Amino acid sequence: MNATDEKNVIVTGAKKGIGHATVLKLAQAGYNVWACARAFDAEFEEELAKMAEKYGVWIEPVYFDLSDEGLTKEAIKGIISEKKKIDVLVNVAGTVFNGSFAMTSMTKIKEIFEVNFFNQIQIMQMISRSMMRKRNGVIVNVTSVSGIEITEGKLAYGSSKAALIYATKAISRELACYNIRVNAIAPGLTDTDMNKTISEDEIAVVLNRSSLKRMAQPEEIANAIEFLASDQSSFMTGQVLIVDGGRLWC
């Protein structure tokens, strides 16, 4: 593959769960990857090196904590300074918090929004400028069905994801003239560490309302992300693709 034919993608939250599955899926499809994680991990780097060799791509680890605006900005500036074209940005990283409205402090709400919304907007602003210069690009945001459905105890998390859904739609309108597509994935319950904070009873309630009666595997969400990242979705922008196993709330 010629350098001009290569596709380069940034994936946040690349160490575990949906983010890790997305790195693997896109590497298999021939994408070069900046794999972003919170902190250095030698085992993670070794795994990325093996993955890169196996699929004939480069995978570069990048470390920053999304809760820190300054570190996030510096890390993204570092990627941009490499002067490689950035074709796709996939915002997977996020954090969850469960708690009643009355017991959720403003400090906690701000913490959740810092990771799930504010710094993801910052990343999109910085990367979209690079995409605008070459008048091409794709952004995929991983939101959640919690940003669409109303569930008790999800005020901070659900509100942050709802904000990201709105931002996805608004940004897609502004960037369309630069041939930049912006879409979102809204996964349902997925078998990741994040959902280990949910009780078995809560999981059972959700699965009983699901047509498929099971949680998603991270690979299944990564399949949908790959679709939105690829030219197969070339006429889609401003959309939220719900991947939830057919949750029925009526």
Predicted model pTM: 0.94
Q: Is residue 114 part of a domain?
A: yes
Boundaries of domain holding 174: 3-243
**Comparing 101 with 2, which gets the higher pLDDT?**
101
Q: Is a pLDDT exceeding 50 seen at residue 101? A: yes
Q: Is residue 146 part of a domain?
A: yes
Mark whether 157 is an active-site residue: yes
Percentage of residues in the chain with pLDDT exceeding 70?
98
Number of domains the chain contains: 1
Q: Is residue 250 part of a domain?
A: no
Mean pLDDT value across the chain: 94
pLDDT at 1: 47
Question: Given 31, 157, 166, 178, which residue is catalytic?
Answer: 157
Q: Is residue 248 part of a domain?
A: no
pLDDT at 206: 84
* SS3 of residue 21 by DSSP: helix
The b-or-e profile of 210-241 (16+ CB within 10 A means b, else e) is beeeebbebebbbebbbebbeeebeeebbbbb
Over the stretch 27-81, which tens digit does the pLDDT of each residue have?
Answer: 999 999 999 999 999 999 999 999 999 999 999 999 999 999 999 999 999 999 9
CATH number at residue 114: 3.40.50.720
Q: Is residue 161 part of a domain?
A: yes
